[in-house]
Amino acid sequence: MTALTLAESRFRQFLALAKPRVVSLIVFCAVIGMFLATPDLPDPAVVFAATVGIALVAGAAAAINCLVERTIDAKMSRTSWRPLPSGALTPTQTLVFASLVGAGGLAILGAWVNPLTMWLTLGTFVGYAIVYTVLLKPATPQNIVIGGASGAMPPVLGWAAVQDAVPPEALILFLIIFAWTPPHFWSLALYRTADYARAGLPMLPVTHGSRYTRLMIVLYTAVLIAVSLLPYAIRMSGLLYLASALVLGAVFAAYAVALYLRYSDALARRTFAYSIFYLAALFSALLVDHYW
């Protein structure tokens, strides 16, 4: 193996630690928050610095998650390929990577964005890497509900980066992602129940069974649809967003009800995939409506 090939392989391993697909959705929601925070276009320099800073800290949090859960990941088919359980990287390398990347992201936010965004991002890091990963996930089947607060922060971080404030509009975006997280994650947990049981994690399908979890998905989806109408209710958005939210929500509700009535792993996979599309499309509709 040449030095170049080795370096490329090592880069890919560290990149995998940062969970780029998850981080891309986080960054997307943060950027939407930046654009919604101003009636005009936000300062490109602020958008760039905030995007890079938030992405780096999110990647560091993902790496800490991989570090803490390396033993669990080794027991799950979904995660056994990751760099730590596979032996491609060591815990020390992971910790150094997370420390450097996280510190770099916070430094960028503090120097080129504003202190509020830096501190909120640090709080989000602690919420995910420590409160959720270390304390909640192994302790309670409500882990994803409570821990979802940290995952709902990206649009708030984006708004704070541009406005240096967190107004009610930013908190509504937070509530949308907070309500979205349980049906999104539980649809994944349903077809990965055996993995979670083998790893000893008290995920809802493991502790309460499939039918109860599917009922909770229906109920949380109803809450999500109601919360998604708040931007229109407070005149944050217009009819374009309202129509989009209703159509996207109706499809999500149809998936949730179908999942409850006639479960299959394939349907759970499609529900999970649609939930990702739903959030991206809903926030895109907010952005388009904002400049309509």
Identify whether the C-beta of residue 16 lies closer than 8 Å to the C-beta of residue 83.
Answer: yes
Token pair belonging to 47: 């958008």
What pLDDT is attached to residue 9?
Answer: 82
Q: Provide CATH 1.10.357.140 ranges for the chain.
A: 1-165
Note the pLDDT of residue 135.
Answer: 83
Q: How far apart are CA 12 and CA 284, in angstroms?
A: 30
> What pLDDT score was predicted for residue 76?
86
Three-state secondary structure along the chain? CCHHHHHHHHHHHHHHHCCHHHHHHHHHHHHHHHHHCCCCCCCHHHHHHHHHHHHHHHHHHHHHHHHHCHHHHHHCCCCCCCCCCCCCCCHHHHHHHHHHHHHHHHHHHHHHCCHHHHHHHHHHHHHHHHHHHHHHCCCCCCHHHHHHHHHCCHHHHHHHHHHCCCCHHHHHHHHHHHHHHHHHHHHHHHHCHHHHHHHCCCCHHHHHCHHHHHHHHHHHHHHHHHHHCHHHHCCCCCHHHHHHHHHHHHHHHHHHHHHHHCCCHHHHHHHHHHHHHHHHHHHHHHHHHHCC
- The per-residue pLDDT for 4 is 63
Give the rounded distance of the alpha carbon of 157 from its chain centre: 13
Residue spans in the chain of domains classed CATH 1.20.120: 167-292
Mean pLDDT score of the chain: 94
Count of other CB atoms within 10 angstroms of residue 272: 20
The string of pLDDT tens digits covering residues 249-291 is 999 999 999 999 999 999 999 999 999 999 999 999 999 999 9
Judged against a pLDDT cut of 90, whether residue 77 lies above it is answered with: no
Task: Assign domain 167-292 to its CATH architecture.
Answer: Up-down Bundle (1.20)
In this prediction, what percent of the chain has a pLDDT beyond 70? Answer: 99
Q: Which of 68-77, 112-121, 128-137 has the highest mean pLDDT?
A: 112-121
pLDDT of 3 reads 67
What percentage of residues in the chain have a pLDDT greater than 90? Answer: 79
pLDDT single digits (tens) 145-168: 887 888 999 999 999 999 999 999
Q: Using pLDDT thresholds of 50, 70 and 90, give the confidence band for residue 141.
A: confident
Predicted pLDDT of residue 174: 97
pLDDT at 1: 56
216-247 confidence digits (pLDDT tens): 999 999 999 999 999 999 999 999 999 999 99
Mean pLDDT value across residues 183-211? 93
Is the model's pLDDT at 79 over the cut of 70? yes
Structure tokens at 93: 């390398």
Distances 251 to 26, 213, 254, 258 between C-alpha atoms, Å: 23, 19, 5, 11
| Alpha carbons 193 and 79: distance in angstroms, whole number | 14
Domain 1-165: top CATH class? mainly alpha
> 17: which residues sit within 8 A by CB, 6+ positions away?
59, 62, 63, 66, 82, 83, 84, 89, 94, 97, 98
Among 92-96, 197-201, 210-214, name the one with the lowest average pLDDT.
197-201
User: Which two structure tokens, joined as six digits, stand for 207?
Assistant: 């502790």
Reported confidence tier of residue 55, pLDDT bands at 50, 70, 90? very high
Structure tokens at 165: 């404030």
Sequence-distant (6+) residues with CB within 8 A of 16 are 82, 83
Candidate from 48-62, 66-80, 82-96 with smallest mean pLDDT: 66-80
> What is the identity of the amino acid at 263?
Y
Q: What residues contact residue 7 under an 8 Å CB cut-off, 6+ apart?
A: none
